[in-house]
Amino acid sequence: MKAIIAFIFITLTTVAFAQDNKVVQAEFTVEGICNMCKSRIENALKIDEVRYAKWDKHSKILKTAFLYPAVTADSLQKRIAAVGHDTENHKAPKDVYKNLPGCCLYRDGVKTH
């Protein structure tokens, strides 16, 4: 009986928490050059809380829709920086950046291709 009550309580708490989240949209700049960059950037945001993530390699703008406050635009920028791409507020770690494929090294003045 206690197990059933605990299960119901956890379920109701989870549902209530999920209802507190709202979908918000954000756009921010992400550095990158090519379609491999695009794939890496968008894949970094393939998490349950992100509803939409689309990066344009020419404008360098990432458009997102996500569940707030489960995640924030800042936390998404940190995820992207962690895979090697500088954002408006977070710079990719040097060791991660230098391990990107040669065509993706955007800090070296390479043009979009």
Q: Is the pLDDT of residue 49 over 60?
A: yes
Question: What residues does each domain of the chain span?
Answer: 22-108
Cα–chain center distance at 71: 9
* Summary mean pLDDT of the chain: 88
**pLDDT tens column, 68-78:** 999 999 999 99
The answer to whether the CB of 42 falls within 8 A of the CB of 50 is no
Band of residue 1 on the pLDDT scale cut at 50, 70, 90: low
* CA 30 – CA 40 distance, rounded (Å): 11
Band of residue 97 on the pLDDT scale cut at 50, 70, 90: very high
CATH 1.10.4030.10 given to domain 22-108: no
pLDDT of res. 81: 98
Q: What is the pTM of this model?
A: 0.81
